[in-house]
Structure 1
Amino acid sequence: MNILFIGFSLRSNAGGIERYLSTILKQLKKRGFTIFVYVMHDADQDPDFIYLNNEVKKIKFFDRFLLGFRIGNHLRKKGIKIDLFFCGHILLFNRSELISRSIGVKYDLFVYGIDCWGNRFREPLHQMKSLRKVISISSFTTEQVRKQEFGGEIIYFPPLVENLPERIQHNISHDKIILLTVARLDPNEMYKGHDAVIKSLKSVQKHFSNFEYWIVGRGKDMDRLKTLANELDLENEVKFFGFVDDVKLAEIYEQADIFIMPSRVSLDPNKLEGEGFGIVFTEAALYEKALIGPDTGGSVDIIDHNINGLACDPTNTEQIATCILTLVNDPALRKRLGENARNKVLNQFTINQFDQYFNPILQ
């Protein structure tokens, strides 16, 4: 069976969406599918995929209108029959429409978060004549698409963890409670909630001072967060690690006691923001970390309040502080929530569940 994918990128080291799509296509390759791809941005090419970019060269200024026809014509001339067609981003639906008309195969559209929240799905919906199914990364995103009057089939397909930790170390010797956030420090993604955590730590400090807040990730927002920590006299408690490799990241996850990322959500069409899913929560859960996250957005698929973590209003720093203190003061609760978090991920969000999520797409 031949699969066609059109998207912006498949570089697995580029970001969460790229890793998500690359993982899905690589699993399909392992299952015997032939994967044809056309990507708008990648220079490096993955040997698992057949890149149509090599033969359908980009033509500046014209590709917005002609690229879809050119890809479709190329496939027809080569006698390549496409059985399943994926559009990797709603911004590429126009090109996918043209390809569909050319090859006679409808496409399935991947949706994630702010790409389709607000009115961003409703506005082009009447133009998506060849749309077959929508593949949604989370329940929250599914709900947002439904609210925009889409009456077709939506397939739930969350990100799946491939590499499980080889070991989990318990009772690592350190004399402080370690709070951890792993996320890019991008000025365009300030909704991740690093600043809210830092602000909440002033309240935490009144009741418990033996803690550190570790921030892993790089980006231009680091200076703002460092300034905030300094203004609140927390420069000794807030530690910035920048980018770390996978080995170091595993060590950091093991040393942490609590994983926290109170990502804010806004459905204001003029300021859409929020987690489409929050795969770092699943990564932390595999290390049996108790989770603190928002009570809205894509990560609610992962966090069950008082079962495997604590959910809070991400705009309320006092609520965040209360969640932190609850876990700081109750080691048994931290342990129980962490164990439950790992069990949920193992049962629902690993590559072992791939076929159960993918099979409905084939139907």
Structure 2
Amino acid sequence: MIKYDIDVYLFGLGENIPEGYHHKVNIINVKIQNSTKLQADGAFQKSIYLKSLPNILSLVKKIKPDIIHSHYASSYGLLGALTNFHPFFVSVWGNDVFDFPKKSSLHKWILKFVLKKADRIYSTSKVMANETKLYTSKEIGIIPFGVDTEVFKPITISKMFDEDTIVLGTVKSLSYKYGIEYLLEAFKIIKEKLPDKKIKLLLVGDGILKSSLQKKAEELKISNDVVFYGSVPHNKVPEIYNLIDIAVFPSVWESFGVSNLEAAACEKPQVASNVGGFPEIIDDGVTGFLVEPGNPKDIADKVIELINDKSLRIKMGRAARKKVVEEFNWNNNVEQMISEYQKVIKGRNR
């Protein structure tokens, strides 16, 4: 947004000041210690958010913004709502509408309160917009969270394995949500059905299930062909996808699927669960295959089809990138958001 001559003030809560932003972005970071975190998802106590409200009110008074835009309705959305500032935009991102309101009647009330205070509400996917509609009668705008297709693209990179090795891979945290255990079971089936082919499985990411997944790979007798690569900085992810021949996403649930977009932008065909926002990204049989969630055999069958047909892999990969460029290009999505800002500002100034 900086290149559009928009002043951006980014308010956040965390231990460290975030890196990687344009130097003209004004970052206001209220430090939160580890002791204030709870649960496995690292969520902050709501009281900690509320204690930061005076900082936000002071900031609003100082900079006099044209718009406040809160990302994540159940946390920063609550802070934005409590400023009583308008125009007030809210973007939902997943857990804030799928999980948060189901915890208790209070959680549900908080979400409804935030959405009631919002002048505009946005979602990155249709499925998440539909979920959000359970808590508000307002219109939900859909603006995808796109990818930079000049960063995520096909590139020539040194291979990790032999040239004739087919590499299956995924870039996801090793948690229950992403169904990595089903991918290991599918990989076992693939190895048994294609014993003469060199096939490796590259798992990029870290998480609470790492030890149990490594143990499962040993029990399935596939550990020699499974690489637990660990987590990588986001700027290294394009290189990872260019090491992979077929991307596999066996998630049991997804609100959208940015990783799918990144793989597709790198011209990788993919096999993914038919859940959440995945069908909005993958055209089944055209840019990849959608499979039944939690079904290793279904995953294996589609991966085997792609392994046995190189021309299909290439065709699907090219179609996948074309779809991303046309529908999920980061720059276009940013322009959509700016257009929304301008509509509201012009309407207010009339």
Find the partner of 2:56 among 59, 65, 71: 71
Kindly provide the amino acid, as one letter, of the partner of residue 225 in structure 1.
L
Asked if structure 1 preserves the Cα contact closer than 8 Å seen for 2:14 and 2:29, the reply is no
The answer as to 2:118 corresponding to 1:142 is no
**Aligned counterpart, 2:39:** none
> Match of 1:348?
327
The TM-score normalised by the length of structure 2 is: 0.80
How far 1:34 sits from its partner (Å)?
1.3
Q: How far apart, in 2, do the equivalents of 1:69 and 1:40 lie? A: 13
The corresponding residue for 1:113 is: 94
- Aligned 8 A contact 1:107 1:131 in 2: yes
**Tell me, which stretches of 5 or more residues in structure 1 are unaligned?**
1-27, 55-59, 266-274
**What secondary structure is seen at the aligned counterpart in 1 of 2:9?**
strand
1:96 counterpart residue number: 80
Q: Rate the CA distance shift 1:109–1:336 in 2: closer, same or farther, 3 A.
A: same
Distance 1:44 1:74 in 2: 17
- Offset at residue 201 of structure 1 (A): 1.9
Counterparts of 2:153 and 2:123, CA distance in 1? 30
Separation in 1 of the partners of 2:82 and 2:293? 42
Per-residue CA deviations over 1:52-91 (Å, capped at 9, x if unaligned) read 558xxxxx99765564355324533x3x322111112222
Structure 2 distance, partners of 1:310, 1:198, is 18
Deviation at 1:230, TM superposition (A): 0.4
CA pair 155-295 structure 1, distance change in 2 beyond 3 A: same
Aligned to 2:318: 339
Q: 2:110 aligns with which of 112, 118, 124?
A: 124
3-state DSSP of counterpart to 1:38:
strand
Pairing partner for 2:246 from 258, 261, 277:
258
User: Any idea what the Cα deviations from partners look like across 1:147-176, whole Å, max 9, x if unmatched?
Assistant: x14221212122221242465349976222
Counterpart residue identity of residue 356, structure 1: Q
Give, in whole Å, the separation in 2 of the partners of 1:249 and 1:66: 36
What residue is the counterpart of 2:181 in the other structure?
195
- State the secondary structure of the residue aligned to 2:177: helix
1-structure distance, mates of 2:301, 2:275:
18
CA distance in 2, matches of 1:223, 1:155: 41
CA distance in structure 1 between the partners assigned to 2:47 and 2:207 by the alignment: 34
Shift in Å, 1:214: 0.8
The equivalent of 1:19 in structure 2 is none
Counterpart of 1:306 (choices 262, 267, 285) is 285
Equivalent pairs counted in the alignment come to 313
- The CA RMSD measured in Å over matched residues stands at 2.8
Could you say which residue in structure 2 is the equivalent of 1:183?
172
What is the DSSP-based 3-state SS (H/G/I as helix, E as strand, rest coil) of the residue aligned with 2:96? coil
Q: Secondary structure at the match of 2:98?
A: coil
Structure 2 counterpart of 1:17: none
Q: TM-score, structure 1 length as denominator?
A: 0.77
For 2:49 and 2:325, how far apart are their aligned partners in 1?
42
Question: Which residue is equivalent to 1:7?
Answer: none
Q: Offset at 1:293?
A: 0.8
Aligned to 1:151: 137
- Report percent identity of matched pairs: 25
Give structure 2 stretches of 5+ with no counterpart: 31-35, 37-45, 344-350
